[in-house]
Amino acid sequence: MKAEIIAVGTEILLGQINNTNTTFLAEELAGLGMEVYYQSVVGDNPKRLEEVLNLADQRSDLIVLCGGLGPTDDDLTKQVTAEHVKEELVFDERGYQNLLAFFEKRERPMTENNRLQALVFKDGESLQNSTGLAVGIFYQSENGPSYLLLPGPPNELKPMFFNEAIPLLKRHFQQDEQLISRVLRFYGIGESELVTKLADLIKQQTNPTLASYAKPNEVTLRLTVNTLDESEGKQKLDQLEKEILSRVGDFFYGYGENNSLAQVVVRLLKENRQTVSAAESLTAGSFQALLGSIPGASAVYPGGFVTYSEETKAQFLEIDATLLKKYGTVSKECAEAMAQQAQKLAGSDFALSFTGVAGPDSLEGQKAGTVWIAIATKNHVESHLYHFNRDRNYIRNSAVMTGLDLLRRKLIK
């Protein structure tokens, strides 16, 4: 099963946006056992898109197009592909209702061009868009390849792929053999260190296979087994997982493609019926915002403080100003006082504090990347010093993730 990805959009050709959709689709298609041999990008130009489709027809079984399903004149993926496969465009009933509901709710008139987003192929299947307006399309040609058309905005493409495209692709292309995947998630170990520790397993891999993926501040391992028998396949994965965790288990925090450190922490807090608060300086609310991004966070997080200046540290948290003057705000003493006071004021089981130098400039004679993180309970406080690298926002993000992992380790004790 050879698949190929075509991203459509002049803004990608001009380098104005990163082509993250292709990366996402490539990884997901590989997970479904499809071989992606080609990726390409073409601008919003009918002639060149047609050229690229002709080429793809010759070399691929499944052609995945993303982008160009929107309402503007330069959105023409659907029109060009329809003409390419000689399909008539018709309105999708559910997609059209979705459009009407959207504009009714906003009390704005629906312009003519917006209607085009509900057009689909007469003999194709529609993929509903739970987070936007453009309907996706799957079409299997008689003797040629199949086509999958997805919207360009990542927040529309991803849910559509997970909810609609995966079941559809499995239905159409399922084989007797099945691929079973398991994703292990690690925090606190770099990809190169991880693969070094697993070098022999990676080298001798055949079935299951083992692949590592690095994202900022996180590494995942995907174990995939190709099997005729589900329980035998799972057993093989269990065996490999056990071997992996015997070496790097200390850094393992969870399973699954979509299971962030923040999700795990919120789940553990819920299970323990405990709460967390925070007092943030350099991270300026990022830690709390990340907790708040998880549905149901209100059960475990009552609120907290952002004390960016020295004055607000003293005032909001009722910290002795002379302590701040004596030790500076980038200090163990300040971090511990912040965490203790946040815990006390919020009445939470835990409180974390973050204080340090986000950069680019130094602060109090300390280099950008210097960060103190403290964690307090009613009767205990401890703090840790870190030296993070790279730019301002990478440093802030590293601090947030490190804080989450500190809390996670307390919660599983």
- Please list every residue from 17 through 76 that binds its own copies, using CB under 8 A: 17-20, 22-30, 36-43, 45, 48, 52, 55, 70-74
Single residue of 46, 88, 100, 113 touching its own copies by CB under 8 A: 113
CB of 392 closer than 8 Å to CB of 358: yes
DSSP assignment of 332-374, as one string?
A: HHHHHHHHHHHHHHHT-SEEEEEEE--SSS-BTTB-TTEEEEE
Single residue of 122, 207, 213, 409 touching its own copies by CB under 8 A: 213
The least CB distance from residue 13 to its own copies, in Å, is 5
Whether cis (ω within 30° of 0) applies to the bond prior to 71 is no
Q: Within 13 Å and on the Cβ side, how many CA atoms surround 97?
A: 4
Sketch the per residue contact string, 218 through 237, with its own copies: x for CB under 8 A, - otherwise.
----x---------------
Closest Cα to residue 308, out of 354, 350, 277, 347?
Answer: 354
The least CB distance from residue 181 to its own copies, in Å, is 9
The least CB distance from residue 201 to its own copies, in Å, is 12
Query: Can you tell me the distance from the alpha carbon of 144 to that of 138, in angstroms, rounded to the nearest whole number?
Result: 14
Query: Can you tell me the distance from the alpha carbon of 114 to that of 130, in angstroms, rounded to the nearest whole number?
Result: 16
CB of 117 closer than 8 Å to CB of 86: no
Single residue of 195, 218, 252, 382 touching its own copies by CB under 8 A: 195
Which segment (7-15, 118-126, 228-236, 237-245) binds its own copies by CB under 8 A? 7-15
84-103 positions binding its own copies, by CB under 8 A: 102
Query: Can you tell me the distance from the alpha carbon of 369 to that of 329, in angstroms, rounded to the nearest whole number?
Result: 14
> Applying CB under 8 A, does 142 fall inside the site for its own copies?
no
Token pair in block for residue 79: 């029109």
> Applying CB under 8 A, does 297 fall inside the site for its own copies?
yes
The least CB distance from residue 206 to its own copies, in Å, is 15
Per rule CB under 8 A, count of chain residues that contact its own copies: 107
Query: Can you tell me the distance from the alpha carbon of 202 to that of 181, in angstroms, rounded to the nearest whole number?
Result: 16
Single residue of 87, 164, 280, 405 touching its own copies by CB under 8 A: 280
The least CB distance from residue 256 to its own copies, in Å, is 12
40 vs 235, which CB is nearer to its own copies?
Answer: 40
The least CB distance from residue 144 to its own copies, in Å, is 19
